[in-house]
């Protein structure tokens, strides 16, 4: 290796060592400084709400089935057909049922003939009994003959009663055959729109165990309802009559409105998650909404207009241990505990905020601590505040020494620690 190459190698090593020293010096300097991320206190609207998913359905949905078994011979309604109450919408092949009616009619005629015969025999037996009784009074016949005539008359009257019973059975069978024949005409039980048809012409339906469903008819699609699944943590915030809004995937840019009709007491448990059905009445005059659509429903249970708002990140901020200072304000001691925002809205099925309230009014126990950069040195100062409702990103300020535009600290980096902690636990290390 030549002397010049050795000089180049030594210069490169020296430059690398200088860069390494500069990098370590900058890293040590940045690790010793604390940089604060801030957000401004602003004024605006805070809306506390609960969101849930649900399914649209008609107010009244009727399933039309068949009382008798047989082959579908005719369909007079299809999907989206408008039908009226009593209108024939399908027909089952009636040939077998007509034959059954004819047979029942023949059985009835035979029973009527048997009854007439029994009555004639009973009348003859009565006449024979009368003659025998007259002869017995004159001692012209034996007592046994009188007893025989009496038994024959009683048997004839019993045969008449039996014939009457047989005739009644034949008439009942005839009525049943006529009713079954009438069931071959499937009629609509209500006015509405056919939303489902489950059979075709030529298909055989069997009604031996249960009535097969042939059609599903919605009574009035201009009035619908949304059955929502609301988590048990949020169901206490809902009440009948409160407004609700929702969107569907078919019209993502359109918001539909409705009213809560009732919150049903029956609970549904799926994988240890308990939900309740909140029924929302919806007007559908343009028939845009269709049964079965999935709706994302929003229930607004509290709202504040033109109030001071602080980002929730500022309420969660916990400074490094060396920067903690006494909180300003009467609630300083309480605010150091750092309870969660009151009245925070959650999605259905999410874990609730254990310190949240109902959002209907400001809670006196909602003391929190917010760190604000103040003074020429822009050092963080703890300020005790009272919070109100929250919309998940911002929280209402009820009281406290904060003004619009104040920079509140949301995170701290550098100094070997970061303040982005939810519980004020040990701080994570800095970048170096």
Please indicate, yes or no, if residue 272 is contained in any of the structural domains: yes
Please indicate, yes or no, if residue 138 is contained in any of the structural domains: yes
Please indicate, yes or no, if residue 245 is contained in any of the structural domains: yes
355-375 mean pLDDT: 60
Final residue belonging to a domain, choices 257, 273, 301: 301
Q: At residue 407, does pLDDT exceed 60?
A: yes
pLDDT, averaged across the chain: 83
Final residue belonging to a domain, choices 273, 301, 329: 301
Please indicate, yes or no, if residue 404 is contained in any of the structural domains: no
CATH of the domain at 137: 1.10.287
237-252 mean pLDDT: 94
Give the pLDDT confidence score for residue 25 in this predicted structure.
Answer: 63
Q: Spell out the residues 6+ positions from residue 94 whose beta carbon is closer than 8 angstroms to its own.
A: 73, 181, 184
395-412 mean pLDDT: 89
Name the residue with higher pLDDT: 96 or 353: 96
Please indicate, yes or no, if residue 144 is contained in any of the structural domains: yes
CA-CA distances (angstroms) from residue 183 to 19, 41, 68, 388?
96, 73, 7, 64
Name the residue with higher pLDDT: 141 or 284: 284
Residue 58 pairs in a beta bridge with: 224
Give the pLDDT confidence score for residue 375 in this predicted structure.
Answer: 80
48-53 mean pLDDT: 93
For residues 255 and 95, what is the distance between their CA atoms, to the nearest angstrom?
A: 54
Final residue belonging to a domain, choices 140, 163, 186: 163
Q: Are residues 228 and 297 in the same domain?
A: yes
116-145 mean pLDDT: 91
pTM above 0.85, yes or no: no
Q: How confident is the model at residue 422 (pLDDT cuts 50, 70, 90)?
A: very low
Q: At residue 342, does pLDDT exceed 50?
A: no
CATH of the domain at 252: 2.40.30.170
Give the pLDDT confidence score for residue 416 in this predicted structure.
Answer: 52
Per-residue model confidence as pLDDT tens digits over 174-218: 999 999 999 999 999 999 999 999 999 999 999 877 788 999 999
Give the pLDDT confidence score for residue 29 in this predicted structure.
Answer: 54
Give the pLDDT confidence score for residue 374 in this predicted structure.
Answer: 85
For residues 370 and 387, what is the distance between their CA atoms, to the nearest angstrom?
A: 11
For residues 128 and 117, what is the distance between their CA atoms, to the nearest angstrom?
A: 17
273-290 mean pLDDT: 94
Number of domains the chain is built from? 2
Please indicate, yes or no, if residue 426 is contained in any of the structural domains: no
Per-residue model confidence as pLDDT tens digits over 300-316: 999 899 999 999 999 99
Please indicate, yes or no, if residue 207 is contained in any of the structural domains: no
410-416 mean pLDDT: 73
In which domain, by residue range, is 135 found? 100-163
């Amino acid at each position: 290796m030549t002397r010049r190459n050795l000089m180049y190698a030594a210069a490169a090593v020296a430059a690398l060592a200088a860069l390494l020293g500069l990098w370590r010096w900058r890293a040590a300097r940045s690790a010793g400084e604390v940089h604060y991320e801030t957000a401004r206190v602003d004024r605006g609207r805070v809306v506390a709400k609960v969101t849930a998913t649900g399914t649209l359905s008609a107010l009244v949905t009727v399933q039309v089935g068949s009382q008798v078994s047989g082959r579908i011979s005719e369909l007079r309604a299809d999907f989206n057909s408008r039908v009226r109450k009593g209108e024939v919408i399908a027909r089952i092949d009636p040939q077998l049922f007509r034959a059954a009616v004819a047979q029942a009619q023949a059985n009835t005629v035979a029973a009527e003939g048997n009854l007439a015969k029994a009555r004639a025999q009973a009348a003859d037996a009565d006449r024979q009994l009368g003659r025998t009784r007259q002869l017995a009074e004159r001692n012209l016949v034996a007592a046994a003959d009188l007893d025989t005539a009496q038994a024959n008359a009683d048997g004839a009257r019993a045969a008449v009663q039996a014939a009457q019973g047989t005739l009644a059975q034949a008439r009942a069978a005839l009525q049943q055959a006529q009713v079954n024949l009438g069931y071959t005409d499937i009629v609509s039980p209500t006015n509405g729109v056919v939303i489902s048809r489950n059979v075709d012409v030529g298909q055989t339906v069997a009604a031996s165990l249960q009535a097969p469903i042939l059609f599903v008819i919605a009574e009035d699609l201009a009035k619908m309802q949304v059955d929502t699944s609301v988590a048990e943590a949020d169901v206490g915030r809902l009440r009948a009559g409160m407004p609700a809004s929702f969107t569907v995937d078919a019209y993502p840019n359109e918001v539909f409105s409705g009213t809560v009709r009732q919150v049903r007491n029956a609970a549904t448990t799926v994988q240890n998650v308990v939900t309740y059905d909140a029924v929302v009445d919806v007007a559908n005059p343009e028939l845009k909404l269709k049964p079965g659509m999935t709706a994302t429903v929003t229930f607004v249970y509290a709202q504040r207009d033109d109030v001071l708002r602080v980002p929730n990140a500022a309420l969660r901020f916990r400074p490094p241990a060396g920067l903690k200072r006494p909180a300003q304000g009467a609630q300083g001691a309480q605010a150091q505990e750092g309870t969660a925002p009151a009245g925070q809205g959650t999605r259905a099925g999410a874990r609730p905020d254990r310190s949240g309230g109902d959002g209907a009014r400001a809670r006196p126990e909602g003391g929190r601590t917010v760190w604000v950069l103040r003074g020429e040195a822009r050092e963080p100062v703890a300020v005790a505040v009272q919070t109100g409702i929250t919309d998940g990103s911002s929280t209402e300020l009820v009281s406290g020494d904060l003004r619009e535009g104040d920079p509140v600290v949301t995170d701290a980096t550098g100094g070997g620690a970061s303040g982005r902690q939810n519980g004020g636990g040990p701080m994570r290390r800095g970048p170096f």
